[in-house]
Amino acid sequence: MKTTIAEVYKHVGEEVTIGAWLANKRSSGKIAFLQLRDGTGFMQGVVVKAEIGEEKFQEAKSLTQESSLYVTGKIVEDTRSPLGFEMQVTDFELIHEAVDYPITPKEHGTEFLMDHRHLWLRSKKQHAVMKVRNEIIRATYEFFNEQGYVKVDPPILTGASAEGTTELFHTKYFDEDAYLSQSGQLYMEAAAMALGKVFSFGPTFRAEKSKTRRHLIEFWMIEPEMAFMDHEDSLQVQEQYVSHVVQSVLKNCKIELSILDRDTSKLENIQAPFPRITYDEAIQLVKEKGFDDVEWGDDFGAPHETAIAESFDKPVFITNWPAEIKAFYMKPDPKRPDVVLCADLIAPEGYGEIIGGSQRIDDMELMKQRYEEHGLTGPAYEWYLQLRQYGSVPHSGFGLGLERTVAWIAGVEHVRETIPFPRLLNRLYP
């Protein structure tokens, strides 16, 4: 009977066949241990010479790394492996012999591994990271579907910038100019006026010349947008959403988190509500932490964010930023118009900003004024203004960066390992 490694727990004591690749192998004169992987997981296959016979045993010993096989054997419990099971191999059939697989069990440099990303994805750690990423996506759909949100897909090719004009990817659109989307937000605002509570999940692009462990050129963003919700309502959605995602990974990715050596005690604590500090308080805090040169009106860099995160054991919201360093669409605080109703959510343990969100300007005249201040003109922006002309309502939304969230939850140092094929400043291949 054919099965998969993920399903072997249903077949204890039975003989089954699994299509697999040979990840690794060690052997002695009488016994060979095959580290098998089939995409669903990793499992050890034990080949005993006395049972399988001399000829087949020699064949097992000569199998090469990443060769593909059909392996048949009996499933038995094995408390030492993370899976909890192993296979006593009774037979195997070589499908394809892999010769000189470039990624050997020895250490390789990052550039070499990134050049072989199409193969590196097969390794145990990368496999675990992709599974955590998948669980975060699954839990995202679950959370927003349960809360009555409608999934809406904004366009990738756009006629205007959503998040400032300096980081745009330009392309020709027949005779017109087009840009790759930096954020679906403006379209999601239109969708919220049609469907109430909406969320998107898709690729976004930033032509940022940043070469840090938190920046990708192409990254995936989850962007909820809610009509009739103010900024406080939105903060509550954000903390509940992030808590749900973390708790889902803890529950459904136990093997992966153990492969990744993740300290799960730091994740167990991630439950709403999250602490909140204002930008003013954050400035105070970083000054106390020894950054004397930081002034009101400055943006925070990675070292500042890490210093702030150190004071909390949960993600922390930094609210009410100066209007001049935030996007044109953010609503000013009525009590204090030099700051806007917005928040960045900073992940613990130095993983940086994972969410940017705000209440949006709903007043037509104020939005027109912002257009003038930011030099936003042309038909690409006119439709967005009309959302304020016809039945404008208070509304809020946010964007969660998937790769930074995966990096934090999986405990991976650099975002390049959190997306199957990262697009980086110096990398468009493989």
Which residues lie closer than 8 Å to 360 by C-beta, 6 or more apart? Answer: 189, 329, 330, 331, 395, 396, 397
Between 56 and 370, name the residue whose CB sits nearer to ligand 4AD: 370
Smallest gap from residue 321 Cβ to Mg ion (A) = 10
Give the residue, chosen from 60, 89, 235, 354, that forms a contact with ligand 4AD under the rule CB under 6 A. Answer: 354
Identify the three-state secondary structure at position 190: helix
Q: How many of the chain's residues bind Mg ion (CB under 5 A)?
A: 1
**Phi and psi at residue 373, in whole multiples of 5°?**
-60, -35
Smallest gap from residue 163 Cβ to ligand 4AD (A) = 5
Smallest gap from residue 150 Cβ to ligand 4AD (A) = 16
- x/- contact string, 403-422, with ligand 4AD (CB under 6 A)? xx----------x-------
Between 257 and 415, name the residue whose CB sits nearer to ligand 4AD: 415
Instruction: Count Cβ atoms within 10 A of the Cβ of residue 420 and give its class: 0-12 exposed, 13-18 middle, 19 or more buried.
Output: exposed
**Does 356 contact Mg ion by CB under 5 A?**
yes
DSSP H or E stretch at residue 367:
helix 364-374
Of residues 333, 344, 320, 328, the one with CA closest to residue 400: 344
**Does 189 contact ligand 4AD by CB under 6 A?**
no
Smallest gap from residue 118 Cβ to Mg ion (A) = 31
Identify the three-state secondary structure at position 415: helix
Token look-up 């709903």 returns 362
| Candidate segments 241-249, 310-318, 348-356, 409-417, binder of Mg ion by CB under 5 A | 348-356
Q: Are 35 and 52 in contact (CB under 8 A)?
A: no
| Candidate segments 2-10, 44-52, 395-403, 420-428, binder of ligand 4AD by CB under 6 A | 395-403
**Does 401 contact Mg ion by CB under 5 A?**
no
Token look-up 């016809």 returns 390
Of residues 255, 257, 254, 222, the one with CA closest to residue 143: 222
One DSSP character per residue, 28-66 reads -SSEEEEEEE-SS-EEEEEEEHHHH-HHHHHHHHTPPTT
Smallest gap from residue 127 Cβ to Mg ion (A) = 30
Per the DSSP assignment, residues forming a β-bridge with 347 are 352
Smallest gap from residue 397 Cβ to Mg ion (A) = 13
Smallest gap from residue 163 Cβ to Mg ion (A) = 8
Q: Which amino acid is at 304?
A: H
**Does 357 contact Mg ion by CB under 5 A?**
no
From the list Mg ion, ligand 4AD, none, which binds 206 (C-beta under 5 to 8 Å, kind-based)? ligand 4AD
260-263 long-range contacts, Cβ below 8 Å, gap at least 24? 260/125, 260/128, 260/129, 260/132, 260/410, 260/411, 260/412, 261/411, 262/409, 262/410, 262/411, 263/411
Smallest gap from residue 407 Cβ to ligand 4AD (A) = 9
Pairing status of strand 157-158 against strand 176-180: antiparallel
| Candidate segments 51-59, 228-236, 276-284, 393-401, binder of ligand 4AD by CB under 6 A | 393-401
Smallest gap from residue 184 Cβ to ligand 4AD (A) = 7
Q: Which CA distances in Å does 205 have to 133, 179, 180, 426?
A: 19, 9, 6, 15
**Does 154 contact ligand 4AD by CB under 6 A?**
no
- x/- contact string, 163-182, with ligand 4AD (CB under 6 A)? x-------------------
- x/- contact string, 234-273, with ligand 4AD (CB under 6 A)? ----------------------------------------
**Phi and psi at residue 59, in whole multiples of 5°?**
-65, -40
State the residues that interact with ligand 4AD by CB under 6 A: 162-163, 183, 185, 206, 208, 215-216, 219, 221, 223, 353-357, 397-399, 401, 403-404, 415
Residues that bind Mg ion (CB under 5 A): 356
